[in-house]
Chains A and B, each alone.
Chain A
Amino acid sequence: MNKLHLKWFVWLLGDHEHAGALKCLMGALFLKYCPGHLTCRAFERFVLDYHEGKLSERQRSVFAFHMRICPRCRVHFESYVRAIELGQKLFARDDEALVPEDVPEELIKAILATRASP
């Protein structure tokens, strides 16, 4: 498949009114002639393992190929990763901003009193 074919192919599966029907037809052809092809539902089952680097090389390439031909699954995966990053970075910032004054003095006194009690 040369670059022009690939461009047409990506357009056929792109974001237009007939995309759903075309993708369905292409999906059926893929399943018949390319058994390694993923459907969107199957793609979803591999998202976690792909993100954590736990897929085999072949599985990774099938997953990546699906993202290339399906913009919604690509955006779904990128949003999934972005959501994880946002949580991690937000809480990392919180930790950096922590100062001892954040802990109420009453709590410190209560803990120290607990130790002092028999």
Chain B
Amino acid sequence: MNESVKPIGGPEPSARGTADEDTMSLVAALKRQDAGAFESLVRGFSPKLLAVARRLTGNHEDAQDCVQEAFLAVHRKIDDFEERAALGTWLHRIVVNAAISKIRAGQRGAAESIEDLQPRYDRYGHTVGPSTITDLSADQLLERAETSRAVRKAIDGLPPTYRAIVLLRDIEGYDTREVAELLGLNPGAVKTRLHRARTALKTLLEPLFRRDGA
């Protein structure tokens, strides 16, 4: 490994943060086609990128493909990369784009309905559903092992586009306009689908919110 390049122990605190000195020197070394710098980049950023890709695709093999594609893109396009930009942000976006391509390819012909999980109303037009909720906070609920399993299962069970929208908006921190661009939808459609996806998750997770914890 080239001595002039500091190995990076992991991605930037936020993968969407700004460039720091270490990252800038890493980018400079990558532009010099330094093999050690490339390995340092791969080892430093892979865990975070793999996690993002796994979340979006819901599949280990596809996630690994996405990460591989992202680093290949870095290798090919590093000369176009502006050093003042955040490397983590760039990588994150490449992985998200690759994952979305996989999602789109995989959802052809798949049903997109989550109608059964939307709010229901009685004959007077009033909401049907529980009238009490547990006092436990999200952190307290997550202390139970079954909560983590239920949340993962609920998110994985959403149709691919809905899952992608929830993950991009609520977990990866993109705004509505960015999600719309990434998915090729208009912002209104993203808002509608985000709300429907969140409502579906809420319905699926409702048993966890019962006051008796049942």
Contacts and interface: CB of A to CB of B under 8 A. Distances in A.
A86 B125 contact: no
A111 B55 CA distance: 20
B132 interface: yes
Contacts, number: 150
A99 interface: yes
Contacts of B155: 87
Contacts of B133: 75, 78-79, 82
Interface in A90-118: 90-91, 93-95, 98-100, 102-104, 107-108, 110-112, 114-116
Contacts of B96: none
B124 A20 contact: yes
Contact of B142 (A21, A23, A93, A104): A93
A11 interface: no
B75 interface: yes
Interface string B36-49: 00110011001110
A88 B137 CA distance: 13
A91 B124 contact: no
Given A48-B195, A83-B198, A87-B170, A112 B39 contact: yes
B126 A20 contact: yes
Interface residues on B, range: 35 or more
Size bracket, chain A contacts = 35 or more
Given A87-B201, A115-B38, A76 B46 contact: no
Contacts of B64: 104, 107
B48 A95 contact: yes
Interface in A48-85: 48, 70-73, 75-76, 78-80, 82-85
A84 B125 contact: no
A40 interface: yes
B43 to A, nearest CB: 6
A100 B47 contact: yes
Contacts of A83: 198, 201-202, 205
Minimum-distance CB pairs A-B, first 7:
A85-B138, A24-B124, A83-B202, A71-B131, A72-B127, A48-B195, A103-B46
Interface string B51-64: 10001000000001
A28 to B, nearest CB: 10
Contact of A102 (B50, B138, B206): B50
Nearest to B74: A115
A33 B126 CA distance: 19
Interface stretch (B16-24, B84-92, B99-107, B145-153): B145-153
A23 B42 contact: no
B72 A75 contact: no
A24 B209 CA distance: 27
Contact of B47 (A24, A76, A93, A102): A102
Contact of B10 (A27, A43, A75, A100): A100
B128 interface: yes
A78 B39 CA distance: 46
Interface string B146-185: 0110011001000000000010001100000000000000
